[in-house]
């Protein structure tokens, strides 16, 4: 029995929509603490709590059902995805706790061992410690991590601190959701599928380490809400992100799969949520679908001074050749994101 056959969600880690989350969080009772430097109010990628002027804790959690059949690969992807939020804040992961849901009567317990081993390997690659976790029985497998890291609060990367005139760098190609959807339908080639899983299991550690040597204004990672929703969060209320579609790195086959109507339900939720705040200009429906497409363990979107962008992009591309300068930040024009 395969991992994916156990998933009623079809192997796609669907999230609550951004609007749903805002409504759920709006009236929560909260303890206020000035040492909480980053909470959930600005949709940043992780929480940050100051311990001193020089040291803060950065904390995040993420998990989802399998999107690939191979247990070890699934574990590596899920771990890379969870670790990404620490890198997106400019932090260093310190320790991780595994979160596991698994069917009680699942026939192949070796699959669970493979998932855990894959995750542990990726945690080790990140230089972090696997320190424990929690498991429950569930009708479908799920796996992820709660990750704690350290960060210098004076060098904290936020998602809405970009400045007009900044350039934007995207470090990984788009189209993961479309390629995985095509693979489940038997339409993706081995090369197309391999390209997608390679980028998903790639840690954002390496791009973040290179970025640390530059004047970074804002960073977010592109995950389940797709490029446009995350870009709109980065724009905030007073800026507009202008994206050049021709400059965006795409996975092999992604645009063609969009033309074949292989978009995911999560992509459609992203479209409904953000369409009123974006201007897609004359972009075709197929091209637009790639921008709404949910990414699993996607790349970093980095905002930095225009005169430093080429240098950083060249450094990142030494190990992440798909990285590209994809647009710029401008003063707000009434839309959060404009695609040209």
Query: What are the tens digits of pLDDT across the range 267-300?
Result: 999 999 999 999 999 999 999 999 999 999 999 9
Question: Could you tell me if 219 and 303 are in contact, meaning their C-beta atoms sit under 8 angstroms apart?
Answer: yes
Question: Could you tell me if 206 and 150 are in contact, meaning their C-beta atoms sit under 8 angstroms apart?
Answer: no
Three-class SS string for the chain?
A: CCCHHHCCCCCCCCCCCHHHHHHHHCCCCCCCCCCEEECCCCCCCCEEEECCCCCEEEEEEEEECCCCCCHHHHHHHHHHHHHHHHHHCCCEEEEEEEEEEECCCCCCHHHHHHHHHHHHHHHHHCCCEEEEEEEEECCCCEEEEEEEEEECHHHCCECCCCCCCEEEEECCCECHHHHHHHHHCCCCCHHHHHHHHHHHCCCCHHHHHHHCCCCCCEEEECCCCHHHHHHHHHHCCCEEEEECHHHCCECCCHHHHHHCCCCCHHHHHHHHHHHHHEECCCCCHHHHHHHHCCCCCCCEEEEEEHHHHHHHHHHHHCCCCCCEEEEEEEECCCCCEEEC
The pLDDT of residue 22 is: 63
CA proximity to 200, closest of 107, 131, 277, 294? 294
Query: What are the tens digits of pLDDT across the range 50-103?
Result: 999 999 999 999 999 999 999 999 999 999 999 999 999 999 999 999 999 999
Which pTM was predicted?
Answer: 0.93
| Cα separation, 330 vs 291, whole angstroms | 19
**How many CB atoms sit inside 10 A of residue 148's CB?**
21
The pLDDT of residue 242 is: 98
What dihedral angle (degrees, nearest 10) is formed by the CA atoms of 278, 281, 283, 288? 10
The pLDDT of residue 74 is: 98
Kindly list the structural domains of the chain, giving each domain's residue range(s) and its CATH number in brackets, ordered by start.
Answer: 4-155 (3.30.1330.10), 166-339 (3.90.650.10)
| Catalytic residue from among 12, 101, 313, 333 | 12
Does 12 participate in catalysis according to the annotation? yes
pLDDT along the chain (340 residues), means of 10: 60 55 74 91 92 97 96 98 98 98 86 97 98 95 98 96 97 98 96 98 98 97 96 95 98 96 90 94 93 97 98 98 98 94
């Amino acid at each position: 029995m395969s991992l994916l056959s156990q998933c009623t969600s079809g192997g796609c880690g669907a999230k609550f929509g951004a609007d749903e989350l805002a409504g759920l969080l709006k009236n929560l009772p909260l303890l206020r603490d000035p040492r909480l430097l980053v909470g959930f109010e600005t949709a940043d990628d992780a929480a940050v709590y100051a311990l001193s002027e020089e040291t803060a804790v950065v904390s995040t959690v993420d998990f989802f059902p399998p999107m690939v059949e191979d247990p070890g690969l699934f574990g590596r992807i899920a771990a890379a995805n969870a670790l990404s939020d620490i890198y997106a804040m400019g932090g260093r992961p310190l320790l991780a706790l595994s979160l596991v849901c698994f069917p009680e009567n699942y026939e192949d317990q070796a699959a669970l061992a493979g998932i855990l081993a894959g995750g542990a390997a990726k945690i080790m690659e990140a230089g972090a410690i696997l320190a424990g976790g929690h498991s429950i029985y569930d009708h479908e497998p799920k796996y992820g991590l709660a990750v704690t890291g350290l960060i210098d609060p004076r060098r904290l990367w936020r998602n809405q601190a970009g400045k007009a005139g900044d350039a934007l760098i995207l470090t990984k190609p788009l189209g993961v959701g479309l390629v995985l959807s095509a693979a489940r339908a038997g339409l993706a080639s081995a090369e197309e599928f391999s390209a997608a899983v390679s980028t998903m299991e790639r840690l954002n550690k390496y791009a973040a380490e290179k970025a640390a040597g530059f004047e970074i204004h804002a960073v977010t990672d592109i995950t389940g809400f797709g490029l446009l929703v995350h870009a709109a969060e980065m724009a905030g209320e007073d800026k507009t992100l202008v994206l050049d579609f021709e400059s965006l790195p795409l996975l092999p086959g992604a645009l063609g799969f969009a033309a074949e109507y292989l978009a995911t339900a999560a992509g459609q939720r992203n479209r409904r949520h953000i369409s009123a705040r974006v201007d897609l200009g004359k972009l075709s429906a197929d091209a637009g679908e790639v921008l709404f497409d949910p990414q699993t363990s996607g790349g970093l979107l980095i905002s930095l001074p225009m005169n430093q962008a080429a240098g950083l992009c060249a450094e990142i591309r030494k190990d992440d050749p798909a990285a590209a300068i994809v647009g710029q930040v401008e003063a707000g024009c009434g839309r959060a994101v404009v695609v040209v």
